[in-house]
């Protein structure tokens, strides 16, 4: 039996269904909802179905529940040994049906199953496995991975882990956005410097070149605009532009203070160029056309940045099965074919030479509001697919990329921030192409921003917090805590544990907040050893591991009936419900549900640990039963943390 709690739930559902058939055959029960009551005194599961159905029949809900409960008792007597875990049913409150488990039998099955399955415990397999692509992170290769981007990294990685353990064939994809002005700016600055070898971590080095080059170019542009405003005598525009250029000059001074030599070299080279903006446009155009010389330059600088990304991602245990290049789509016939098909639709039109797609009209004509979940009051704007001189823009390439992904998968999940319009426009475009089926199978997994209080971020100005910075600080702060709690550890052990705790703390912070909500990042919360954090949860695992090192779980059958304390029952129930929670997280795409569960499970264990002895428990049979409970807890917590990509340490 892979899921004893699931079996108990099935028995309760079937008992209510048959009881209604016998007592109220006129009632057609499509869904029988079962909830966990606020207290186990009211049973392990409860149903309010009589409260709902009685209104339609004009009956008293409590009397109705009484008849159902009586019928359940008769059904149980008839079924005999076929019912394993349903012990009794009672009427509760105004008409609830409270269902009680045979706890000794249920908990015995749970512990035996957890101990036997070990690393596969809780991971129920789907009956309908499919091929799924999870695309996540996909940071533009122009600077290091920012902490905000890393939220998508950890959510996407957790989703992939959950879906893979559910039995789906999951492939993790990274979309390398290497076309456009931003990449051309880096290539321009990098080339002007003579294509130097990085003097720091590659993505940080490339990020400095991007920020400095972008800053210098922006100041030049604004100064030219200021001159125009002066010539026209436009005082309002002049004041606005002056304020903007002052902000950029302040950013330039900050960059110069951090990278003086690099800043001066780029400034000198840009000043020598009569028209750097035109040179950058030319680089972008030639790259999209596949010019070999420009390809060599931009691929070189992009690969350097990706090298740095891979180093960071490797540190946090995130891997990709495929790195998909935007440029390769442009060089193939895929984008051209998409544009050709869209041009034939009634929703394509030329506006000042650029191809636009009337998304709003398509939504109404094709009746897509219900399919895509678009409210009646919500109007989607048109999307521009090409420039006025015919080259494709990002949305066109994104459509081609979606079609390519569906050649490899049955379902696609794009883990992307709050890009509501682009993702909806993309799905509407698939419908225009006659691929409504694909639009239905493409999910935008949206996540909110990461906010650092009192810190104003701007990638173009070089003002951002990198994931590398946060990881280093997390490990350093974890080291302080580890030294406080375990001063006897060797330096090597402290470093290893601090790395596990620091990385886990950052991952948990990114995943535990409901994805659509913004995350306010504070160290007080992230590294709180007392509650709702990875260190708090990891510490519970370390406590359990320490107990198990001193007292081995016996091979012979233990008497689970000796576990009668409410704290033991609370912990056992939470362990029992892990498979159910895992399935819910996989079906609803809810990694944060796993994080919440791990926190609740750790809290239940700590309460048990603080009040009940294990190794000193008497009699010996009670000690053995509690050791088995601790082992089942350790397995369950470790498996839950593995779904978040968080390591469960045995010492802290």
Confidence at residue 294, expressed as pLDDT on a 0 to 100 scale: 97
Are 183 and 143 a contacting pair, CB within 8 Å? no
Mean pLDDT of 339-343: 96
Q: Is the pTM of this model over 0.75?
A: yes
CATH class of 4-101: alpha beta
Burial zone of 618 (CB within 10 Å; 0-12 exposed, 13-18 middle, 19+ buried): exposed
pLDDT > 90? residue 297: yes
Quick one: tokens of 117? 């399955």
pLDDT of residue 222: 94
Closest CA to 470 of 200, 154, 160: 154
* Domain ranges in the chain with CATH number 3.40.50.620: 132-177+326-451
Provide DSSP, 534-549: HHHHHHHHHHHHHHHH
| Range list of H helices, 28-95 | 49-57, 61-79
Whole-number average pLDDT of the chain? 94
Q: How confident is the model at residue 463 (pLDDT cuts 50, 70, 90)?
A: low
Establish whether the linkage from the previous residue to 619 is cis, with ω within 30° of 0.
Answer: yes
Predicted confidence (pLDDT) at residue 310 exceeds the cutoff of 60 = yes
d(CA 553, CA 115): 10
Mean pLDDT of 34-42: 93
| DSSP assignment string, 428-487 | HHHHHTT-HHHHHTEEEEE---EE-TT---BTTTTB--BHHHHHHHHHHHHHHHHHHH-T
Half-sphere exposure of 627 (CA within 13 A, CB side): 23
Backbone angles phi, psi at 324, to 5 degrees: -100, 120
Nearest-angstrom CA–CA distance, 506 and 157: 14
- What is the rounded CA–CA span in Å between residue 199 and residue 526? 32
Say if residue 252 is exposed, middle or buried (CB neighbours under 10 Å; 0-12, 13-18, 19+).
buried
pLDDT above 70 (res 556): no
Percent of the chain with pLDDT over 90: 87
Q: Are 302 and 183 in contact (CB under 8 A)?
A: yes
- Identify the bridge partners of residue 463 per DSSP, sorted by sequence position: 458
* Dihedral sign, Cα of residue 201, residue 204, residue 206, residue 212: negative
pLDDT at 353: 92
CA distance 137 to 647: 21
In this predicted structure, the answer to whether residue 48 has a pLDDT above a threshold of 70 is: yes
pLDDT in tens, 621-634: 999 999 999 999 99
At residue 282, the pLDDT reads 94
Give the model confidence (pLDDT) of 93-128 as tens digits.
999 999 999 999 999 999 999 999 999 999 999 999
CATH number belonging to the domain at 132-177+326-451, selected among 3.40.1080.10, 3.90.1150.10, 3.40.50.620, 3.40.50.300: 3.40.50.620
- Are 131 and 409 within 8 A, CB to CB? yes
256-291 pLDDT, tens per residue?
Answer: 999 999 999 999 999 999 999 999 999 999 999 999
Q: Residues 260, 238: contact at Cβ < 8 Å?
A: no
pLDDT tier at 417, thresholds 50, 70, 90: confident
Q: Is the pLDDT of residue 164 over 70?
A: yes
For residue 45, what pLDDT band results from cuts at 50, 70 and 90?
A: very high
- How far is Cα of residue 335 from the mean position of the Cα atoms in its chain? 29
Q: With respect to CATH, is domain 467-643 assigned 1.10.730.10? A: yes
Q: State the pLDDT confidence band at 129, using cuts at 50, 70 and 90.
A: very high
State the pLDDT confidence band at 525, using cuts at 50, 70 and 90.
confident
Determine if residue 390 is left, alpha or beta; phi over 0 gives left, psi from -120 to 50 gives alpha, anything else beta. Answer: left
Residues of the chain with CATH 1.10.730.10: 467-643
In the chain, CATH 3.30.1360.70 sits at 4-101
> Residue 486 has what pLDDT?
86
Buried b (16+ CB within 10 A) or exposed e, 557-588: ebebebbeeebbbbbbbbbbbbbebbbebbee
pLDDT given at position 460: 54
CA–CA separation, 113 vs 101, rounded Å?
Answer: 17
Q: What does DSSP assign to residue 381?
A: P
> What integer pLDDT is reported at residue 459 of this predicted model?
54
More confident residue, 55 or 322: 322
Q: Using 50, 70 and 90 to split pLDDT, how confident is the model at 418?
A: confident
DSSP E strands in 34-136: the ranges are 45-47, 86-92, 96-101, 131-135
Integer distance in angstroms from the first to the last C-alpha of the chain? 34
pLDDT of residue 458: 55
273 CB burial (10 A radius; 0-12, 13-18, 19+): middle
35 burial level (CB within 10 Å; 0-12, 13-18, 19+): exposed
pLDDT score recorded for residue 505: 96
- Picking from 532, 365, 404, the residue whose alpha carbon sits closest to that of residue 357 is 365
User: 583-609, pLDDT tens digit by residue?
Assistant: 999 999 999 999 999 999 999 999 999
CA dist., res. 332 & res. 344, Å (int): 20
Question: Would you state the pLDDT for residue 193?
Answer: 96
């Amino acid at each position: 039996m892979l899921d004893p709690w699931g079996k108990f739930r099935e028995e309760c559902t079937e008992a209510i269904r048959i009881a209604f058939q016998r007592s109220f055959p006129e009632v057609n029960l499509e869904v029988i909802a079962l909830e966990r009551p606020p207290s186990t005194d009211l049973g392990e599961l409860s149903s309010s179905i009589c409260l709902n159905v009685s209104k339609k029949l004009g009956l008293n809900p409590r009397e109705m529940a009484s008849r159902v409960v009586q019928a359940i008792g008769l059904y149980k007597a008839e079924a005999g040994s076929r019912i394993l875990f349903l012990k009794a049913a009672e009427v509760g409150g105004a008409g609830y049906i409270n269902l009680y488990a045979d706890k000794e039998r249920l908990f015995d099955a749970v512990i035996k199953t957890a101990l036997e399955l070990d690393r596969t415990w809780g991971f129920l397999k789907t009956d309908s496995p499919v091929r799924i692509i999870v695309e996540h992170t996909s940071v533009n290769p122009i600077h290091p991975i920012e902490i905000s981007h890393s939220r998508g990294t950890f959510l996407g990685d957790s989703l992939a882990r959950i879906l893979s353990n559910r039995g789906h064939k999951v492939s993790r994809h990274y979309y390398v956005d290497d076309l456009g002005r931003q990449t051309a700016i880096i290539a321009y600055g990098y080339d002007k410097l003579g294509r130097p070898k990085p003097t720091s971590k590659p993505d940080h080095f490339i990020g400095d070149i991007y920020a400095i080059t972008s800053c210098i170019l922006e100041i030049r542009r604004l100064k030219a605009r200021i001159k125009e405003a002066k010539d026209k005598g436009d005082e309002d525009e002049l004041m606005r532009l002056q304020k903007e250029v002052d902000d950029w000059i302040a950013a330039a001074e900050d960059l110069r203070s951090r990278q003086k030599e690099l800043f001066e070299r780029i400034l000198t080279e840009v000043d020598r160029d009569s028209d750097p903006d035109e040179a950058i446009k030319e680089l972008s155009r030639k790259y999209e056309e596949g010019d070999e010389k420009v390809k060599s330059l931009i691929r070189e600088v992009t690969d350097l940045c990706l090298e740095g990304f891979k180093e960071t991602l490797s540190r946090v245990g995130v891997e990709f099965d495929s790195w998909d290049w935007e440029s390769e789509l442009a060089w193939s016939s895929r984008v051209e074919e998409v544009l050709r098909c869209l041009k034939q639709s009634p929703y394509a039109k030329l506006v000042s030479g650029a191809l636009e797609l009337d998304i709003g009209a398509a939504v109404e004509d094709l009746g897509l509001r219900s399919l895509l979940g678009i409210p009646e009051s919500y109007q989607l704007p048109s999307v521009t697919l090409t420039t006025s001189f015919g080259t494709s823009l990002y949305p066109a390439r994104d459509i081609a990329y979606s079609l390519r992904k569906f050649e490899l998968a049955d379902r696609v999940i794009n883990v992307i921030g709050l890009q509501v319009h682009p993702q909806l426009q993309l799905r509407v475009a698939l419908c225009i192409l006659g691929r409504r089926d694909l639009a239905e199978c493409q999910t935008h997994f949206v996540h909110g921003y990461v906010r650092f209080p009192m810190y104003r971020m701007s990638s173009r100005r070089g003002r951002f917090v990198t994931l590398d910075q946060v990881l280093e600080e997390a490990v350093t702060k974890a080291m302080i805590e580890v030294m406080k709690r375990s001063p006897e550890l060797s330096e090597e052990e402290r470093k290893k544990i601090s790395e596990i705790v620091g990385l886990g703390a950052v991952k948990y912070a990114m995943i535990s907040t409901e994805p659509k909500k913004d995350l306010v990042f504070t160290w007080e919360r992230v590294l709180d050893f007392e509650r709702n954090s990875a260190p708090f949860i990891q510490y519970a695992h370390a406590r359990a591991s320490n107990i198990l090192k001193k007292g081995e779980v016996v091979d012979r059958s233990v008497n689970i009936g000796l576990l009668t304390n409410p704290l033991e029952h609370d912990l056992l129930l939470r362990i029992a419900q892990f498979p159910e929670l895992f399935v819910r997280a996989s079906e609803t795409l809810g990694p944060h549900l796993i994080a919440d569960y791990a926190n609740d499970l750790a809290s239940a264990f700590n309460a048990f640990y603080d009040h009940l002895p294990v190794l000193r428990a008497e009699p010996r049979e009670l000690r053995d039963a509690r050791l088995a409970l601790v082992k089942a807890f350790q397995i369950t917590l470790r498996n839950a943390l593995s779904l978040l990509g968080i390591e469960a340490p045995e010492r802290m």
